[in-house]
Amino acid sequence: MADSLIDLLLLPLRESDATFNRVGPEAMYVRAQFFIREHLRDPDLSIDQISAALSCTKRYLHMLFSDRGTTISDYIRHARLQHCRQELEAQAGKSITDVAFSWAFRVHRISAACSGSISAWFRPAIHKAQHGGLSADFPCE
């Protein structure tokens, strides 16, 4: 009985491993998502780094994300914004700049591209990420 219960509890882990080890576009997309999530805090995370790690072409990665209605850079930005939002909600006193830097946002680029303060840009951006509304001309609208 105990072995059956353990097997039942391990089933979701085995299924995720099976998806990760499969071949084809869906499996490569899952691997790309995993790699990106594992490296979100790396400010040098790039398509070059992702394609090298996954042993595939940059064009193929672009196609995988395009087929799902997004770009790699938008996916990365959205994931980082989600983490920033969660961190700001969990630690209310933390500065937006510190959170942004910790999630590999290059705040000097944000402030140079946008008029006004970083907070004025960052809070609406997090809100948009939360509600899935990143636009094509993000980060400054």
Q: Which helix (H) or strand (E) holds 35?
A: helix 25-38
- Look at residue 121 in the predicted model and tell me its pLDDT: 55
CA distance 129 to 5: 39
Q: Which helix (H) or strand (E) holds 94?
A: none
Closest CA to 102 of 121, 86, 124: 86
| pLDDT for 28 beyond 70 | yes
Helices marked H in the chain — which ranges? 2-21, 25-38, 47-54, 58-66, 72-90, 96-102, 107-113, 118-130
CA distance 68 to 90: 30
Q: What is the pLDDT of residues 56-71, one digit of tens each?
A: 999 999 999 999 999 9
